[in-house]
Amino acid sequence: MDLQILEKVAENKLSPVDAYLLEAKREGKLRRARFIRWKMTIDEMPMFLRGVFHTISIFPIPLALAKPFMKRMPAQAHDMMDVQTMMKLLRYAKGTVVDIESDGVKIQFKI
């Protein structure tokens, strides 16, 4: 991302969503995301439950179905970013992979 755009975001002259859209316009057409795939592995989980989670995560989840769950996020998450801003970011985030690794837990989201 361009340094000038990042400086404007740091000074709160430009929102992160607008900065992303400006940068994406330079690079070309934005790719619209329609589905989210997730994979979760917990080391201490029994094999049966691990198999159930892997079977459920085979199918991608449409973003339209994810929106009601995002509205029920904990209050701490709403302090960081509201649901509308998060949905705008997710809508044009196709090709993004988020890996979360902790002690014995691995979660991966593919948008």
Beta bridge partners of 40: 107
Type of residue numbered 3: L
Q: Is the pLDDT of residue 1 over 60?
A: no
Percent of the chain with pLDDT over 90: 0
- Mean of the per-residue pLDDT values for the chain? 78
What is the residue extent of each domain of the chain? 1-30, 31-110
Distance CA(31)–CA(94), nearest Å, equals: 6
Helix (H, G, I), strand (E, B) or coil at 84: helix
The pLDDT assigned to 18 comes to 84
Distance CA(47)–CA(70), nearest Å, equals: 29
Q: Is the pLDDT of residue 5 over 60?
A: yes
Distance CA(40)–CA(101), nearest Å, equals: 10
Taking only the tens place, the pLDDT of each residue in 16-55 is 888 888 877 776 666 778 888 888 888 888 888 888 888 8
Please state whether the predicted TM-score (pTM) of the whole model is above 0.85: no
